[in-house]
């Protein structure tokens, strides 16, 4: 699993790649916890190269979303793979997160609405 | 019947998924069915490690595969603490949760799920996936990366997370 990130127009774009499961989920959690309180409240999760996610991974997505929303920000999801989209839909988290077809669209929407 | 024996450590999750994919391809499951089963078996394995053995790495988890009555049947067995599970107790999907989706996903991603516990010790999870006879095109390949193809993250090793910083703008 790899995490790659950049800041663009005040939005933190984070690409989570590979396979996210209970074994490595703490790494993702630590990555976001380190950035809490750093004025990085607006996050786009680029899931275009995330091939696998389990319930632990979903739980971390929910957790970082709650933290950001509590501080006036949000987490949006961009370009989930079919495998990831399926579990988001089964758990109805697709109704909780705003999902965009691309990182560019998710970031652009942040910039025009917040 | 094929068997996989691994220690009760989450570091084996990835190899368990690869093993399930191979069993699925051999049984003739479609790509989507294999992907479903990988998630479901992964959840069962995680539960064995975290709840059955309470993250004690000295236990053993056994995973078996067999074909029974037109189903691919995967069993996940541990000898950890028995815990009662109410399969009818689904999470409230109206609100997002930080946990509690595991058994729910196992139910939805299999054609039949049984969890046998309550013995002196140990839990047996039985996950069944119907072997369909359509989707010929998909059956040849299996899920993306399912058999350990290297792909874009080919150089990574299990258990290693790489964090890289991109450009700031």
Structural domain count of chain B: 1
Q: Do residues B42 and B13 lie in contact, with contact meaning Cβ atoms separated by under 8 Å?
A: yes
pLDDT of A53-101, one tens digit each?
999 999 999 999 999 999 999 999 999 999 999 999 999 999 999 999 9
**Cα–Cα distance, B45 to B10 (Å, whole number):** 8
Domains annotated on chain A, with CATH: 2-113 (3.30.750.24)
pLDDT of B121-130, one tens digit each?
799 999 999 9
CATH of the domain at B146: 3.30.565.10
> Quick check: B104 contacting A, CB < 8 Å?
yes
Provide, as residue numbers in chain A, all residues whose Cβ is less than 8 Å from the Cβ of B165: 4-6
Q: What is the mean predicted confidence (pLDDT) over A28-33?
A: 96
Range of the domain at B108: 2-153
Residue B165 in any domain: the answer is no
Residue in B39, B93, B107 to test binding to A, most A beta-carbons within 10 Å:
B39
Residue B123 in any domain: the answer is yes
Q: Which residue of B has its CA nearest to A31?
A: B163
Residue B126 in any domain: the answer is yes
Task: Tell me how many residue pairs between chain A and chain B have CB atoms under 8 A apart.
Answer: 116
Provide, as residue numbers in chain A, all residues whose Cβ is less than 8 Å from the Cβ of B158: 23
Residue A107: band (very low, low, confident or very high) from pLDDT cuts 50, 70, 90: very high
Among candidates B143, B158, B168 on the partner chain, residue whose Cβ is nearest the Cβ of A6: B168
Q: Which residue of B has its CA nearest to A93?
A: B96
Provide, as residue numbers in chain A, all residues whose Cβ is less than 8 Å from the Cβ of B167: 6
Q: Do residues A64 and A42 lie in contact, with contact meaning Cβ atoms separated by under 8 Å?
A: no
Cα pseudo-dihedral B39, A45, B158, B167, rounded to 10 = 170
Position with higher pLDDT, B37 vs A35 = B37
**How many other β-carbons are positioned within 10 Å of the β-carbon of residue A92?**
14
> Quick check: B119 contacting A, CB < 8 Å?
no
DSSP B143-162: STTTT---GGGTT--TT--E
Residue B163 in any domain: the answer is no
Residue B45 in any domain: the answer is yes
């Amino acid at each position: 699993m790899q995490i790659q990130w950049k800041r663009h127009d005040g939005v933190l774009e984070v690409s989570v790649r590979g396979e996210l499961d209970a074994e490595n989920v703490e790494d993702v959690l630590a990555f976001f916890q380190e950035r809490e309180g750093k004025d990085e409240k607006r996050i786009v999760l680029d899931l275009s190269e995330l091939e696998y996610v389990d319930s632990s991974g979903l739980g971390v997505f929910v957790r970082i979303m709650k933290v950001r929303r509590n501080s006036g920000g949000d987490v949006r999801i961009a370009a989930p793979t079919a495998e990831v989209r399926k579990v988001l839909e089964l758990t109805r988290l697709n109704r909780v997160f705003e999902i965009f077809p691309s990182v560019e669209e998710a970031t652009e929407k942040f910039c025009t609405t917040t | 019947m094929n068997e996989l024996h691994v220690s009760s450590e989450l570091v084996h999750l990835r190899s368990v998924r690869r093993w399930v994919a191979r069993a699925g391809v051999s049984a003739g499951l479609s790509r989507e069915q294999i992907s479903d089963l990988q998630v479901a078996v992964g959840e069962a394995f995680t539960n064995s490690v975290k709840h059955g053995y309470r993250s004690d790495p000295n236990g053993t988890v056994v995973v078996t595969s067999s074909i029974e009555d037109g189903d691919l049947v995967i069993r996940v067995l541990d000898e950890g603490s028995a815990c009662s599970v109410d399969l009818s107790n689904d999470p409230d999907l109206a609100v997002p949760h930080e946990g509690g989706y595991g058994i729910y996903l196992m139910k939805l991603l299999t054609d039949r799920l049984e969890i046998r516990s309550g013995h002196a010790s140990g839990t047996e999870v039985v996950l069944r996936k119907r072997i369909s006879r359509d989707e010929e095109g998909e059956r040849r390949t299996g899920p993306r990366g399912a058999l350990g193809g290297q792909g874009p993250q080919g150089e990574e090793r299990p258990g290693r997370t790489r964090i890289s910083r991109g450009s700031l703008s």
